[in-house]
Structure 1
Amino acid sequence: MSTRTTTDTRPVITAALARRLVDTQFPQWAGLPLALLDPAGSDHVIYRLGGKLSVRLPRHAGAIGQAEKEAEWLPRLAPHLPLAVPSPVGVGEPDFGYPWPWAVSRWLDGDVATVEALGDSSEAAVQLAGFLTALQRFARPDTPADAARHDLTVGPLADRDRATRAAIAGTDGIFDTAAMTELWNEALDAPGWHHSPVWFHGDLHTGNLLTTGGRLSAVIDFGGLGIGDPACDLTIAFSLMSAGSRTAFRAALGVDEATWTRGRGWALATGLNAYTSYADVSPRIAAQTTRQINAALIG
């Protein structure tokens, strides 16, 4: 398989490649049409396979563990969660020059959640709180070895300190540098998670929420699924919700002040990372992350 440049070693993913992978590894679906889903996010190229399946091929090395992780954990989690989650039906192997595992899952109907549709909805906020509560209550892996697995852990906010401070400096004049620095210092100084580790989604933003009939219906993309401090999942409060629905969300979830402050830090760090990476090429991401950063500053 050819690559784009010597500095960008991401594989070139085409419909022809996806067709060959499906037809050879899952011949029972060889007759089903493939349709590219666009846009599909930064981690995967996604094709709809027939009417009931999807094919997800990682774009970059950072996403290569998701197929196996979702296949292992989502069938266990799904019966305990109040919103639908993907149902993996097969993990494909590298072939035809494509270097990584890839996935086939059941297709979930729905529209991607938007601020315009759900931002002011306290009902949706409480629904999300219920989803996270159920996720956090799901039993952790039975053995200490499983609980400590690298693919189920995420580093603390402090691991993002250098990059976040660089992004704060790099966006001077666009956002309030002093306010961002103050929030970041508060988040780093906030007491850590002193309870038992719990499950978290790890990448909970509007693009990973689906709606049907104006109501939340599914949560997707569990590549960041892990066990530890759930503060990272509070980012959704600042990327989706208004001040009123955010208050309802926090109350329903029962978030203490330290965890909320760490959540604001996660929202700031991830918002800045996405802004500095994509704002120049995507007005949509620029608008979304600007909203998220400013909401995190407000709290």
Structure 2
Amino acid sequence: MHDDQADVTAHVAATLIRDQFPQWRGKAIRPVASTGTVHAVFRVGDDLSARFPLRPADAAEALAVLEREARASAELARASPFPVPEPVALGRPGPGYPMPWSVQTWLPGTVAFDADPSGSDAFAEDLAAFVAALRGVGTRGRRFGGENRGGVLAHHDDWMAKCFAESEGLLDVDRLRRLWSRFRELPRTGADVMSHGDLIPGNVLVLGGRLGGVLDTGGFGPADPALDLVGAWHLLGPGPRDVLRRRLACDELEWERGKAWAFEQAMGLVWYYAESNPTMSAMGRRTLDRLLGSAE
């Protein structure tokens, strides 16, 4: 999926796991088929998973990121009313893989790519309850300090210009430019709240038509209150989307900013993963279609 992607084979993963964590030598190591774009994932027995970052990075910097993500995941686990993975261990670089990696608990369920919950009001109620619980944690004085989604919309103009250029021939770029020109001007009124930051189908588990768990929790942190509203557009159809909006009592401005963050994310997915990860690219298209439909 990425030009510089690390090749993490099942043999390499199994060797690292068994060498560094001898207590798990009796557990089967199995690759997990995934549409994820950040990690190669392997089951470790029935109750654990090992996650190997795909993009090369300095080992010390990568370790700092994994440690920060582990702290964020542990904090989110204390707040979440739904199951989330919990950090278990950090692995070291070794033969065949030059970076640190992580182990966390495994959750049962089917990702929303494969068990579409878009028509379920009950799922929308669950998703709203999850977002509300995170918002209720309190930032303890922390503020958004990153460069990704969650800060100032207009700071993404350069990225959006690249997305529009790369999307020529794939999308109705002129129409999408006009929509971004409106989104980028939306003012910010609410203070930062704690946010998951990436509520896409691959990070949400469905069990019995309800929210069964939430994955990829290492980005938990303070951000624009509208950021987690991307889930309304990535995951839900019109009726359930309205359920989520009412449950979270979103005013018009917050709701529109949620659209803007979903738009920013979807635009990048369509062209970047057009050939390397068609499922993610198709998700971006579907989200853009929903956003354009809501603007008509």
TM bracket, shorter-chain basis: 0.7 to 0.9
- Residue type at the aligned position of 2:76: L
- Residue type at the aligned position of 2:129: G
- Paired residue secondary structure (1:180): helix
- Paired residue secondary structure (1:55): strand
Equivalent of 1:157 in 132, 138, 153:
153
1:175 aligns with 2:171: yes
Equivalent of 1:275 in 270, 276, 282:
270
Shift of residue 288, structure 1, vs aligned partner? 1.8
Q: 1:170 to 1:75 in 2, by over 3 A?
A: closer
Shift of residue 174, structure 1, vs aligned partner? 4.3
Q: 1:240 to 1:270 in 2, by over 3 A?
A: same
Match of 1:262 in 2: 257
- Residue type at the aligned position of 2:185: D
Unaligned runs of 5+ in 2: none
Contact 1:152 1:225 in 2 (8 A): no
Contact 1:202 1:225 in 2 (8 A): yes
Farther off after superposition, 149-158 or 79-88: 149-158
Q: 1:78 to 1:223 in 2, by over 3 A?
A: closer
- Paired residue secondary structure (2:88): strand
Structure 1: distance between partners of 2:266 and 2:148: 22
1:238 aligns with 2:233: yes
Structure 2: distance between partners of 1:179 and 1:114: 27
Contact 2:149 2:261 in 1 (8 A): no
Once the two structures are superposed, the pairs formed by residues 34-53 of structure 1 within 5 Å of their partners are 34-53=29-48
Contact 2:72 2:219 in 1 (8 A): no
- Residue type at the aligned position of 1:187: F
Q: 1:254 to 1:55 in 2, by over 3 A?
A: same
Shift of residue 147, structure 1, vs aligned partner? 5.0
Shift of residue 23, structure 1, vs aligned partner? 1.8
Once the two structures are superposed, the pairs formed by residues 165-204 of structure 1 within 5 Å of their partners are 165-172=161-168, 174-192=170-188, 194-204=189-199
- Paired residue secondary structure (1:117): coil
* TM-score normalised by structure 2 residue count: 0.87
Q: 1:129 to 1:51 in 2, by over 3 A?
A: same
Structure 2: distance between partners of 1:61 and 1:133: 35
- Paired residue secondary structure (2:49): strand
Match of 2:126 in 1: 127
Farther off after superposition, 157-166 or 23-32: 157-166
Shift of residue 182, structure 1, vs aligned partner? 2.5
- Residue type at the aligned position of 2:112: A
Structure 2: distance between partners of 1:98 and 1:37: 18
Shift of residue 10, structure 1, vs aligned partner? 3.4
Aligned length, in residue pairs: 289
Farther off after superposition, 159-168 or 103-112: 159-168
Contact 1:54 1:104 in 2 (8 A): yes
Shift of residue 151, structure 1, vs aligned partner? 9.4
Structure 1: distance between partners of 2:249 and 2:49: 36
Shift of residue 195, structure 1, vs aligned partner? 2.9
- Residue type at the aligned position of 2:167: T
The alignment-based identity, stated in percent, is 35
Farther off after superposition, 216-225 or 58-67: 58-67
Match of 2:286 in 1: 291
Structure 2: distance between partners of 1:76 and 1:279: 35
Once the two structures are superposed, residues 8-63 of structure 1 have per-residue CA deviations (whole angstroms, 9 ceiling, x without a partner) of 44332122221222122211112211000012511100000011111111101489
Shift of residue 169, structure 1, vs aligned partner? 4.3
Once the two structures are superposed, the pairs formed by residues 15-26 of structure 1 within 5 Å of their partners are 15-26=10-21
1:57 aligns with 2:61: no
- Paired residue secondary structure (1:189): coil
1:209 aligns with 2:204: yes
Contact 1:151 1:226 in 2 (8 A): no
* TM-score normalised by structure 1 residue count: 0.86
Unaligned runs of 5+ in 1: 1-6
Match of 2:248 in 1: 253
Q: 1:151 to 1:52 in 2, by over 3 A?
A: farther
Shift of residue 150, structure 1, vs aligned partner? 5.3
Farther off after superposition, 148-157 or 17-26: 148-157
Structure 2: distance between partners of 1:187 and 1:279: 24
Once the two structures are superposed, residues 140-174 of structure 1 have per-residue CA deviations (whole angstroms, 9 ceiling, x without a partner) of 24xx5x65665999543223212213323443454
Q: 1:263 to 1:49 in 2, by over 3 A?
A: same
